[in-house]
Amino acid sequence: MTMNDFSLKDRLALVTGSSQGIGFALAQGLAAAGARVILNGRDKVRLEAALQTFKAMGFKGIGLDFDVCDPVAVTDAIDQIEINHGAIDILVNNAGIQWRQPLEEFPPEKWTSVINTNLSSVFFVSQAVARHMIPRRKGVMINIGSVQSELGRPNIAPYAASKGGLKMLTKGMAIDWGKYGIRVNGIGPGYFKTELNKALTEDKTFSDWLTGRTPLKRWGNVEELAGAAVFLASDAASFITGHILYVDGGVTAQL
């Protein structure tokens, strides 16, 4: 093995939900390793701003707004990417949302939204991409889960359900598509400083509890997820599939 095994030079990567936060950091990491990256989001204004920032950093990027929860829009977008930009080599399913509320009060429409965005969208996008990867008999998919794929917390049961389901969907995808040379793995972030977690980072009581609970005694920075994504996307991980890599400062290791 050489450092070239970690290179993603000339590979095309699609990162869903990448106009901010973890998705944008993952897109940067893949681009720094040599990939051409397609940024995705539903908010056209935010996506365009992210794309301009991305290009200002010297990275090769394309912006494509489509709703990952709409299977028809997903299929059309993936087909257009393959026609206009080339074969998708790497798919990162990152789009996700959170909604905190006591379970007995949780609105049905919010349950549907969380499950659709965090779990169903991964099925829609992955299936559409797989239909192109299968004839080529190669490809890499990375699903962004959470420590809540393993651990629960109060008031986020639907989110935990979606991420627990995503863990098993990842394994199922790896099993069904491995025979076609497609590797499917997941990354389980711990607690990172993102817009999604803004309320928690600003809550001193919670932040103090979290840093005390985390072996590395701090919040994660989104840039610290990039290495895991580059590794799993690269030839250095050529015999790894069906695995969830937790990048969590040790939270899942400590009771």
Q: Which residues are catalytic?
A: 159
DSSP 3-state of 192: strand
Is the Cβ–Cβ distance between 189 and 220 less than 8 Å? yes
CA triplet 156, 202, 206: central angle to 5 degrees?
55
Rounded to a whole number of angstroms, the distance between the first and last alpha carbons of the chain is: 36
Is the Cβ–Cβ distance between 148 and 164 less than 8 Å? yes
* Cβ neighbours, 10 Å, residue 82: 17
Q: Distance between CA 224 and CA 245 in Å, rounded?
A: 13
